[in-house]
């Protein structure tokens, strides 16, 4: 088995499309990091003076100083005029300066880190797909089986290599990205405390797991469909039609929102997801006849465990189908 | 000798390949069942080059793919080196080299990289690749991408891949396809050489002259069924005709027909052809009747005419299975 693992690792390394995808998995996050760094760069003093010298901005600063509670959030604790003025200038600068300040916490929950997880996860899925799709496309799969006819071992060796490489690359890239953001925030004297860095690394770990699962899933589906194009087509169709279909099932009775794939992915990566689903609330909640309180609260919570179990079950199902099919079907 | 399903099988030799009542059905897209191989009994003894003949679509490649575990048999049994396959294929696959249909490698990798992946998967040293490349005459081109190879070079690479295992059984499916005349000759010499060195070669081909030149024994199939099997010499002798030259051909023909030896007109008025396995019997019968032979010569048929005769009869549904000699 060790020889087989080494061979599959070499095969992966020698495959040009895979190398290109891995390069993209490094380059795209690097570009995103550079873009975040540029778009959140501090406004220079000259720029600040230029913005605040505009009539509308100066007027807004004065209004803010007169009524800080309506302009600043959270409301200023101090009533010191100088401090209020500084806070107002910062707020108006943020509004009219056209540039957001880098906030690590925002980058994890709804910011670029999630985007990078999505990009890297998608690239790892494509890596798993194209790695083995090439074997089927070129017909070299049959050649490989002439040397190692134990199909379960071949399947497992390829799966292990794809998963490990997916996890390693995604883990490294995501960790580097988060470290980069952290370093950027620290270099700008922005807040990096309060456990936000640890939360980010936790998200990185979950993102790497998701990317590895994506690589394995892409591989398993391609071993099932025996074509990269077919796999991508099926995934595309599922992503377009699947959500609608689940929604339609929900309209037939009972809520199916919980089974939407994207919600489960988000729940798994972000540790917990709160969403609203009012489809199974009692009718009274909508007619205004007595319905109120907790039973009319449409907020639902999906935990990372919920999401993980959902994704794990999908992966297990795809893997079992893929292995079973590979072991039984004739190889062209 | 024993008989299996109408086929005489010599069990005195070690059989390298043995199939019994092998059957393969495919389901078409329309839900119909197509039978590719039906009840095939194949026996290939150890040593020598065994031809595996049949028209396109006769089930040769399907049979080979089943033997190698690439396709599942619908029913029947198969053995390689006496071990049931596909159950015990992993135990014998290290002794089997095979080229099935067209050479299949990763087009973006070099020939050498393709061979390295295969040799490393069986734990063979990388030097084995050098030896195989040299044997098939690809030295100097093994660093080129597979996609840039000519068809002949691809065939050579496929044969090189089979040599990585140092096989005791070589299964070659149309190995000279796409080769130039010099390449064909080289491959044939290599096959013959391997056969003489004790490697059993199963050569699937529809080039009959090739089989006649290279093979010691052959099996002919049609429509997934066994049509004939035996040594090439016996196959050619079977059904052979003799030319008889006599002064009174009409009387001689009547006499031989009455004795159960079919005759047909000869190339001239003083000769005719007689189908018999025993030419001595012809001389005795004619001599006893006072018809003196002026000449008796074997009319050798080649494998092509024999093959066409068999497969044409099979198409018309007239064949039984035929076995000649003791080779298979």
- A11-57, pLDDT tens digit by residue? 999 999 999 999 999 999 999 999 999 888 887 888 888 888 888 88
User: CATH code at B245?
Assistant: 3.30.70.100
| pLDDT score recorded for residue B10 | 40
B69: closest chain A residue by CA: A149
Same domain, B64 and B206: yes
- B247-298, pLDDT tens digit by residue? 999 999 999 999 988 888 877 888 888 888 788 999 999 999 999 999 988 7
Same domain, B10 and B82: yes
Rounded to whole angstroms, what are the CA distances from B111 to A287, A303, B104, B275? 74, 51, 11, 53
Report if residue B328 sits inside a domain. no
Contacts of residue B24, Cβ cutoff 8 Å, sequence gap at least 6: B35, B36, B37, B59, B62, B63, B66, B71, B73, B74, B224
Same domain, B252 and B318: no
Angle subtended at Cα A276 by Cα A272 and Cα A277, rounded to the nearest 5 degrees: 120
Strand partners, B203: B51, B172
Same domain, B195 and B282: no
Instruction: Give residue B152's pLDDT band: very low, low, confident or very high (50, 70, 90).
Output: confident
Domain assignment of residue B95, given as a range: 2-236+305-323
Report if residue B159 sits inside a domain. yes
Contacts of residue A194, Cβ cutoff 8 Å, sequence gap at least 6: A105
Distance from the Cα of B267 to chain A's closest Cα (Å) equals 51
Q: Who has greater pLDDT, A290 or A42?
A: A42
Report if residue B255 sits inside a domain. yes
Report if residue B180 sits inside a domain. yes
Report if residue B269 sits inside a domain. yes
Same domain, B219 and B269: no
Inform me whether the C-beta atom of residue B223 falls under 8 Å from chain A C-beta atoms: no
How many CB pairs lie under 8 A apart between chains A and B? Answer: 76
| DSSP summary character for residue A240 | I
How much is the mean pLDDT over chain A? 87
**A134–B69 C-beta distance less than 8 A:** no
Report if residue B222 sits inside a domain. yes
How do strand A272-276 and strand A299-303 relate by DSSP bridges?
antiparallel
Distance from the Cα of B21 to chain A's closest Cα (Å) equals 20
Report if residue B74 sits inside a domain. yes
Q: Which of A322, A330, A331 is nearest to A152 (CA)?
A: A322
Same domain, B250 and B216: no
A157: closest chain B residue by CA: B121
Same domain, B281 and B262: yes
The proportion of chain A whose per-residue pLDDT surpasses 70, expressed as a percent, equals 95
- B96-136, pLDDT tens digit by residue? 999 988 888 999 999 999 999 999 999 889 999 999 998 88
Residue that is written with structure tokens 């040009």 in the block: A16
Inform me whether the C-beta atom of residue B118 falls under 8 Å from chain A C-beta atoms: yes
User: CATH code at B91?
Assistant: 3.40.50.300
Gap between the Cα atoms of B63 and B136, Å rounded: 26
Gap between the Cα atoms of B267 and A60, Å rounded: 119
ipTM of the shown complex: 0.77
Q: Across the interface, which of A11, A16, A330 has its CB nearest the CB of B117?
A: A11
- A181-235, pLDDT tens digit by residue? 999 888 887 777 778 888 889 999 999 999 999 999 999 999 999 999 999 999 9
Q: Across the interface, which of A10, A15, A330 has its CB nearest the CB of B71?
A: A330
Residues of A in contact with B123 (CB under 8 A): 3
Q: Across the interface, which of B106, B113, B121 has its CB nearest the CB of A134?
A: B106
Domain boundaries, chain A: 2-38+105-328, 42-98
Report if residue B257 sits inside a domain. yes
| DSSP summary character for residue A233 | H
Residues of B in contact with A144 (CB under 8 A): 117-118, 121
Residues of A in contact with B96 (CB under 8 A): 146
Number of domains in chain B: 2
**H or E segment to which residue B286 belongs:** helix B279-288
Same domain, B277 and B311: no
| pLDDT score recorded for residue B3 | 34
Same domain, B227 and B261: no
What the block records as the tokens of B33 is: 């069942």
Please, are residues B52 and B203 in contact by the beta-carbon 8 Å criterion? yes
């Amino acid at each position: 088995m060790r020889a087989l693992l080494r061979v599959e690792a070499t095969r992966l390394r020698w495959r040009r499309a895979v190398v290109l995808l891995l390069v993209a998995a490094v380059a795209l996050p690097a570009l995103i990091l550079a873009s975040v760094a540029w778009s959140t760069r501090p406004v220079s003093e000259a720029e600040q003076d230029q913005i605040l010298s505009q009539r509308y901005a100066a007027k807004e600063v004065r209004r803010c100083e007169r009524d800080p509670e309506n302009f600043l959030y959270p409301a200023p604790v101090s009533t010191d005029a100088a401090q209020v003025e500084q806070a107002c200038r910062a707020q108006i600068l943020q509004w009219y300066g056209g540039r957001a300040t880098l906030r690590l916490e925002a980058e994890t929950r709804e910011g670029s880190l999630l985007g990078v997880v999505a990009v890297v996860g998608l690239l790892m899925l494509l890596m798993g797909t194209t790695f083995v799709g090439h074997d089927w496309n070129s017909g070299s799969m049959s050649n490989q089986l002439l040397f190692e006819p134990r199909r379960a071992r071949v399947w497992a060796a390829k799966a292990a290599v794809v998963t490990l490489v997916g996890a390693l690359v995604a883990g490294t890239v995501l960790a580097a990205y988060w470290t980069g953001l952290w370093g950027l925030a620290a270099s700008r004297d922005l807040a990096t405390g309060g456990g936000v860095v640890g939360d980010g690394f936790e998200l990185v770990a979950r993102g790497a797991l998701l990317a590895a699962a994506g690589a394995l899933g892409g591989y398993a589906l391609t071993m099932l469909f025996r074509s990269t194009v077919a796999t991508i087509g099926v995934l595309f169709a599922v992503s377009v039609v699947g959500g609608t279909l689940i929604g339609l099932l929900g309209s037939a009775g009972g809520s199916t929102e919980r089974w939407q794939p994207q919600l489960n992915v988000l729940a798994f990566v972000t540790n917990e997801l709160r969403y609203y689903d009012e489809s199974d609330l009692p009718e009274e909640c909508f007619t205004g006849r007595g319905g109120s309180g907790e039973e009319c609260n449409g907020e639902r919570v999906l935990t990372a465990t919920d999401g993980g179990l959902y994704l794990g079950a999908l992966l297990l199902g795809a893997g079992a189908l893929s292995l079973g099919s590979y072991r039984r079907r004739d190889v062209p | 000798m024993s008989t299996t399903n109408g086929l005489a099988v010599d069990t005195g030799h070690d059989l390298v390949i043995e199939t019994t009542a092998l059957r393969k059905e495919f389901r078409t897209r329309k839900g119909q069942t197509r039978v590719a191989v039906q009840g095939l009994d194949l026996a290939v003894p150890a040593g020598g080059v065994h031809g595996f003949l049949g028209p396109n679509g006769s089930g040769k490649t399907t049979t080979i793919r089943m033997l190698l575990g690439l396709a599942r048999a619908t029913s029947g049994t198969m053995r390689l080196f006496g071990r049931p396959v596909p159950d015990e294929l992993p135990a014998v696959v290290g002794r089997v080299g095979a080229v099935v249909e067209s050479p299949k490698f990763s087009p973006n990798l070099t020939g050498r990289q393709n061979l390295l992946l295969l040799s490393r998967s069986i734990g063979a040293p990388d030097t084995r690749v050098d030896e195989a490349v040299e044997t098939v005459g690809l030295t100097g081109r093994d660093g080129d991408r597979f996609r840039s190879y000519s068809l002949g070079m691809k065939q050579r690479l496929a044969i090189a891949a089979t040599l990585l295992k140092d096989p005791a059984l070589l299964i070659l499916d149309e190995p000279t396809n796409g080769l130039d005349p010099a390449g064909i000759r080289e491959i044939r010499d290599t096959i013959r050489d391997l056969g003489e060195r004790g490697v059993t070669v199963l050569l699937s081909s529809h080039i009959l002259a090739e089989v006649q030149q290279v093979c010691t024994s052959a099996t002919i199939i049609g429509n997934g069924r066994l049509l004939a099997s035996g040594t090439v010499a016996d196959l050619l002798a079977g059904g052979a005709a003799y030319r008889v030259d006599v002064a009174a051909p009409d009387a001689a023909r009547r006499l031989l027909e009455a004795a159960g030896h079919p005759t047909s007109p000869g190339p001239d008025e003083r000769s005719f052809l007689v189908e018999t396995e025993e030419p001595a019997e012809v001389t005795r019968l004619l001599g006893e009747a006072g018809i003196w032979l002026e000449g008796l010569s074997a009319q050798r048929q080649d494998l092509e005419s024999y093959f066409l005769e068999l497969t044409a009869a099979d198409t018309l549904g007239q064949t039984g299975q035929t076995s000649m000699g003791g080779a298979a």
